Amino acid sequence: MGSEGKELEKNKAVDRAEQVLYKTYNRFPVIFERGEGVHLYDSQGTEYLDFGAGIAVAGLGYNDPEYTRVLKEQAERLLHISNLFYNQPAIDAGEKLLKASGMEKVFFTNSGTEAVEGAIKIAKRCAFNRDGHGGHEIIAMRHSFHGRSLGALSVTGNDHYQEPFAPLLPGIKFADFNDLNSVKELINENTCAVLMETIQGEGGIYPASEEFLKGVRALCDDHDMLLMLDEIQCGMGRTGFMFAWQEYGVKPDVMTVAKALGNGVPVGAFLAQGKAACAMKPGDHGTTYGGNPFVCAAADTVLRLFEERKMTEHVRTVGAYLWEKLEGFAHSHDCVVGHRGKGLMQGLEFDRPVGDMVKKALLEQHLVLISAGTHVIRFVPPLVITKQDVDEMIEKLGETL
C-alpha cells in the first residue's frame, strides 16, 4: 500500500475512534503500532523518538526481550485467580518492592489512582483506630495531581479538575508546596495525614525542597500524623534513586507507586510501614484484579531487571547529561523561562502555552513530547535512553522552535 493509501487508512481509523471512544482526550492524529527500545512506529512505519514513555511508564523502553519473554510465559500459565488465593508472582514482586523501599507491607492495585485511594483509607483507618471516631482531615498540596477518581480528585489541588464534580471528599485542606508554614497553619486535632508528591509532576515538575520535606516529616512525627508520599511518577528509578524520597533521606509512612512498576502492564501499589502497615483489617479494602499473577510477573521482572542492569546509576549519568543539555537550550532560547527537575524527570517552562510546540514536534520532527500544565514541556523518556538520544532530542526540539 502506498503512502496515500496508508494515510487514508489512518484517517478512517481516527474517524472510527472518534465515533466509538468516549471524548475525554484530545488525541494527536497518530496511531502507534509498535515500539523498539526508545522508538515508536506508527501505522505508516514512521519512526519517532519517544521522550514521553507513555507518561513516564515505559522505564525499560519498548519490546524488551527479557520482559516480553516472562509475560508470554506467564500468560500461558495463569492470568488471574482473585485474591482469595495466593500466587507466586505477587509474593516475589512484593518481596522485591519491600526490599527496594524498606517498607513493611504492600497492597497491589490496578493503577496509581487506586493506590492513592488506598493511602487515603489507611490514613483514615489509622486515625479511627487511635481515636475511635471518624471526621479526620488530610492536608494535601495545591497544584498537585493524584488521580481522577473522586477520592484521588479530592486531594488533587487543582480547581479546574475538581469543580465539575463537587462536592468531593470532605476534610481535605490544601497547603502550598515547599511552604512549611502553610502546612503548620492547617494542622488541628483532627489532622491525620499529609499527602504530597515528592516531585510534583502534572503541576509543572517541582521537586520538594529538602528543608520542606524534612520539615513535613517532623510535623507528622510531632502531631501523630502519617506522611504519605505519592511516587507514582517520580518513583521507580526516574530521579536516579529507586524512589525520589531516598535522595532526601525522608522515609514516608505510606507510599504510592505505579506507572513504571509495570512497564505498560496496569499495576500499582501502596506500601506502608509502622502503624500504617497494620491499620486495615480483612474486609477493609479489596480488589478483584489487583495483584493477579500476570501483572505481578510484570512488576517482578521490572524490579529484577532494574537491579541487574543498575538502572538508577544509568539514570543518574544520563540524567545529568540531559540537565546539562537542557540548561544550554534554556540559555540559548529567550522563550524558556525555567528549568526544573531531577534525573530523567525534567521540565522546561516557556513564556507561552506549549501545546502547539508538542504537536509540531510530533508531526514534523517525529519527537514524542508531553506537557505538564499549559506552559511546561515534560521530559520523562524511557530510562534506557542514551546520551546520543538526548542529543537527537535537543536537535529536534531546536528545529521545532
Task: Read off the pLDDT of residues 108-126 as tens digits, 9 standing for 90 and up.
Answer: 999 999 999 999 999 999 9
Strand order in the sheet with 32-36: 32-36, 39-42, 47-50, 367-368
Crossing angle of helices 293-308 and 311-332, in 10° steps, is 80
Is 168 a domain residue?
yes
Q: Are residues 130 and 14 in the same domain?
A: no
Residue 1 has pLDDT above 80, yes or no: no
Environment class of residue 144 by beta-carbon count within 10 Å: exposed (0-12), middle (13-18) or buried (19+)?
Answer: buried
Last residue of one domain, picked from the residues 251, 278, 308: 308
C-alpha cell at 191: 489532622
The domain of 350 spans 3-51+310-400
Please report the pLDDT score of residue 61 as a whole number: 98
Separation CA 200–CA 204 (nearest Å): 7
% of residues, the chain, pLDDT over 70 = 100
Please report the pLDDT score of residue 260 as a whole number: 98
Q: Are residues 163 and 118 in the same domain?
A: yes
Residue 5 has pLDDT above 80, yes or no: no
Separation CA 237–CA 370 (nearest Å): 19
C-alpha cell at 18: 472518534
Q: Are residues 316 and 396 in the same domain?
A: yes
- pLDDT, one tens digit per residue, over 259-317 is 999 999 999 999 999 999 999 999 999 999 999 999 999 999 999 999 999 999 999 99
- pLDDT, one tens digit per residue, over 66-99 is 999 999 999 999 999 999 999 999 999 999 999 9
Q: What is the mean pLDDT of the chain?
A: 97
Separation CA 401–CA 396 (nearest Å): 9
Total domain count, the chain: 2
Residue 338 has pLDDT above 80, yes or no: yes
Rounded mean pLDDT, 13-19:
92
Bigger pLDDT: 4 vs 384: 384
Last residue of one domain, picked from the residues 267, 288, 308: 308
Spatial CA neighbour of 373 closest among 154, 201, 157: 201
Please report the pLDDT score of residue 241 as a whole number: 98
Is 120 a domain residue?
yes
- HSE at residue 263, side-chain half, CA atoms within 13 A, is 31
pTM, two decimals, is 0.96
- pLDDT, one tens digit per residue, over 167-208 is 999 999 999 999 999 999 999 999 999 999 999 999 999 999
Q: Are residues 374 and 257 in the same domain?
A: no
Q: Are residues 202 and 111 in the same domain?
A: yes
Rounded mean pLDDT, 214-228:
98
The CATH number given to whatever domain includes residue 27 is 3.90.1150.10
Separation CA 384–CA 302 (nearest Å): 13
Q: Are residues 178 and 257 in the same domain?
A: yes
Q: Are residues 242 and 216 in the same domain?
A: yes
Residue 365 has pLDDT above 90, yes or no: yes
Report CA-CA distances (Å) from 364 to 10, 102, 191, 230, 371: 17, 45, 51, 35, 17
The CATH number given to whatever domain includes residue 208 is 3.40.640.10
Contact 193, 203 (CB under 8 A): no
Please report the pLDDT score of residue 8 as a whole number: 85
Residue 4 has pLDDT above 80, yes or no: no
Contact 231, 271 (CB under 8 A): no
Q: How far is CA 11 from the centre of its chain?
A: 31
Separation CA 55–CA 148 (nearest Å): 15
C-alpha cell at 141: 498540596
Q: Are residues 259 and 355 in the same domain?
A: no
Please report the pLDDT score of residue 314 as a whole number: 98
